Amino acid sequence: MTISARPSLGATGVSLSDTSQTTTFQAIISEQINVVVPSNVSFGNITFNGNNSSVAVKSQPQTVRITGVTLSKGNTVKVSLEANSANFTNSTGPTFAAGDVSWAESTWTLGTGVVGTLTNTAFTDVARSVANPVGTVGTTNLVFTLGSHNFAATAVQSGSQTLIATWKFQSF
């Protein structure tokens, strides 16, 4: 079988003099990140001796991870934390205040940790990334501290104490 192709009669390319017609293609990409935060921070079983404990209790190191970072040019990611209430809650009576929880400056990849104390009236900075980070921003050594407590001034009941806090991630 033989196949042959013949040009169509009268089909020739002609350049037109008007080349001013253009099309603009636009992709709009919004700022976005993916985050992993600790779901539970435990101070373990706490035993105080006497009425006044000057010993602060530390959590195990916690991990915070930010991936898939897409920011506006020059922006950073600010990580902050706010307690949802003024005090821990339990079923039996007085407990610790949100302000009894603090953290030290931790080492971050592509960012800097900030010293802070938890409050329920505002978000407190935990860390800030470098500008336009490429890769994973995060830490594996964020340690929370439950501060010392003067039991002679304010009693704290035994039992499980719970406080919920909200993380905030902002582009600046």
Helices and strands per DSSP (H, E), number in the chain: 0, 14
Adjacent-strand bridge partners of 103: 116, 144
Please report whether residue 12 resides in a domain. Answer: no
The CATH number assigned to the domain holding 123 equals 2.60.40
Least confident stretch, 87-96, 123-132, 151-160: 151-160
25 domain residue, yes or no:
no
C-alpha 98 chain-centroid distance: 19
Is 89 contained in some domain?
yes
List pLDDT tens digits, range 95-122: 788 999 999 999 999 999 999 999 999 9
Q: Quick check: is 3 in a domain?
A: no
Residue 63 lies in a domain: yes
* Tally of structural domains, the chain: 1
- Stated pTM of the model: 0.78
Range of the domain at 84: 32-171
